[in-house]
Structure 1
Amino acid sequence: MMDGVSIFSDHICELGEGPSYDPGTDALFWFDIVNGKLLEKPLAGALKVHDLGLMASAIAIVDDARQLIATEKGLYIRDVATGKLTLHTPIEADNPATRSNDSRVHPCGAFWTGTMGKDEGKGAGAIYWFFKGELRRLFADITVSNSICFSEDGAIAYYTDTATGLLMRVACDPATGLPTGEPKVFVDHRSFKGYVDGSVVDRDGVLWNAVWGGRAVKAYSPDGTLLREIAMPVTQPSCPAFVGQKADGIAVTSAWKGKDEKQRKLDPQAGMTFLLDIPVKGRFEPRVLIA
């Protein structure tokens, strides 16, 4: 194992994604998207694997009894005690060619959630805003929605269409989470190895990005300057999340999707979930407001 990186869970996900930490239960939740699994593991406890029966990619806390899950058919409420799923807001439910992907809660309680083609078809997806029962499409013609995250004050949103290699930044209304300006390029990653995947922003405004295909997590200052690069033991790290009772750690999911048998033997930890042993001023995900 590389210096500064340890295995949090050796459970192999074909497409590990969407990590989110719940401070109330001290547990990390994440997904194996293509196999319809929700994984749950306390930082000092055993792994639970929940079979969802459909592709899902992101989770948010509604309250102590309910979670909101982004799926291939839309937003579902999950009963924490029973695991029962109830459709709350359909999103592209009539389009079997698309599924949910990267999503995150804005500080005001709004939920930005992205879709994409299951075959990664060009422009097949979009990014949506959901707040108190209202749904709006923010950005269309998205191939692979990713890197949705926000500054702590809610005044800035970040996102990418991974296919473009451009990590975008857009001004937001802190009270609603809606864009108030035109998106501008925050980081141009096209000349570097790998692709911009999931991201999260800490209390200092530093954006931490998992570089799919680049064996790295990169940290960028609020002006887009690369501050540091952490080498990962897998080719396809997919998404970071702050973890711990002080939100002072980072967990990172990964995937083996797209690799043949030979490639998997060269990347034996692909699909595991990792912890970065570095100091970070993280923050907890806000609760999502569904009504």
Structure 2
Amino acid sequence: MATVILSDEACSLGEGPTYDPATDTLYWFDILASRMLERKLSGGATRTHQLGEMASAIATIDGERQLLLTETGLHIRDAATGKLTPHMSVEAANTGTRSNDARVHPCGALWFGTMGKNAEAGAGAIYWYFRGELRLLFPAISIPNSICFSADGKTAYFVDTAVNLLYRLDCDADTGLPLGEPKLFVDRRGDKGGIDGSVVDRDGVLWNACWGGGRLDAYAPDGSLLRSVPVPAGQATCPAFVGAAADRLAVTSATEGLSAEALRADPHAGKTFLLDVVVNGRHEPNVLV
């Protein structure tokens, strides 16, 4: 199949795509507009939920509940009604920061990042949350992205997009906590395009959305570039494995910062796409609260 537009709802900052195989639904966020969007892969209209605050990620707890990451912390969402109940405050008193990238470790722990609302240098951090416990992992992060894990849970990845150095580190498979220090995995300093959101397939291939590059880059476990897949929008933001077999890739994008002239040259900016590539993906695990 050719690359198709999954949703033509243009987002100022489309992010956090997460697929729920139980309902065949892709969720994603327009962070700057404080809204969450959803669409069934089988078809139908895109539904929009106004949240009242910036949010960037969602994870399944069980058949009735979801965990939502917002600028004030973690919230429990009733999947049927959309009602949000505060669960754990994170940087809520700091009105200058918001949430950003996040991913569930195979054990059920959640890694997530915060950042300055104007991407101020060093204003953010990366946190670990598991069964009611919260720990700060990496402080002084400007733009946390590419949080993702190998299928066996023994390897974690993250990047500060402001620096464009993608790191890999050993991880405890049972808790999702780091083991040892991060090691450089991919160095894209000086390259056109930023390292944004990523996912790792069953073969250990990391699929990364290149902000400003209009593509998804696939990196082998040794950090070498395997291939690049074009995205029909310049500012690709984050991929997600979708479909019953998790063998497709959806990717979000953004219009943020584009002038009127740039938008005319990039007419699909901010839309969400289903890419023309078959992958050996996997579904996101449930988060343990």
Q: Would you say same fold, with TM above 0.5? A: yes
Q: Alignment partner for residue 17 of structure 1, among 15, 18, 22?
A: 15
Deviation readout 1:62-83 (Å, 9 max, x if unpaired): 0010000110000011001110
Q: Distance in 2 between matches of 1:233 and 1:192?
A: 20
Q: Which runs of 4+ in 1 moved over 4 A?
A: none
Q: Distance in 1 between matches of 2:282 and 2:232?
A: 25
Give the TM-score, by structure 2 length.
Answer: 0.98
- Counterpart of 1:104? 103
Q: Distance in 2 between matches of 1:279 and 1:264?
A: 29
Q: Distance in 2 between matches of 1:286 and 1:233?
A: 29
Secondary structure at 1:164 match in 2: coil
- Counterpart of 1:151? 150
- Counterpart of 1:181? 180
Q: Distance in 2 between matches of 1:248 and 1:230?
A: 15
Percent of aligned pairs sharing the same letter: 61
User: Aligned-pair distance for 1:262?
Assistant: 1.6
1:146 partner amino acid: N
Secondary structure at 1:163 match in 2: coil
Deviation readout 1:213-239 (Å, 9 max, x if unpaired): 111100000010100011222110000
1:260-279 pair list within 5 angstroms: 260-279=259-278
2:11 partner amino acid: C
- Counterpart of 1:94? 93
Deviation readout 1:105-124 (Å, 9 max, x if unpaired): 00000000100000000000
Secondary structure at 2:179 match in 1: coil
1:44 partner amino acid: S
Q: Alignment partner for residue 42 of structure 1, among 29, 40, 43?
A: 40
Q: Distance in 1 between matches of 2:102 and 2:41?
A: 22
Q: CA-atom RMSD, angstroms?
A: 0.9
User: Aligned-pair distance for 1:175?
Assistant: 0.3
User: Aligned-pair distance for 1:191?
Assistant: 3.5
User: Aligned-pair distance for 1:192?
Assistant: 2.2
Which stretches in structure 1 are left out of the alignment for 5+ residues? none
1:25 partner amino acid: T
Secondary structure at 2:203 match in 1: coil
Which stretches in structure 2 are left out of the alignment for 5+ residues? none
2:72 partner amino acid: K
User: Aligned-pair distance for 1:6?
Assistant: 1.3
Deviation readout 1:139-189 (Å, 9 max, x if unpaired): 000000100000000000000010111000010000000001100110001
Q: Distance in 2 between matches of 1:219 and 1:153?
A: 19
Give the TM-score, by structure 1 length.
Answer: 0.98
Secondary structure at 1:283 match in 2: coil
| 1:222 and 2:244 are equivalent in the alignment | no
- Counterpart of 1:79? 78
2:75 partner amino acid: Y
Secondary structure at 1:12 match in 2: coil
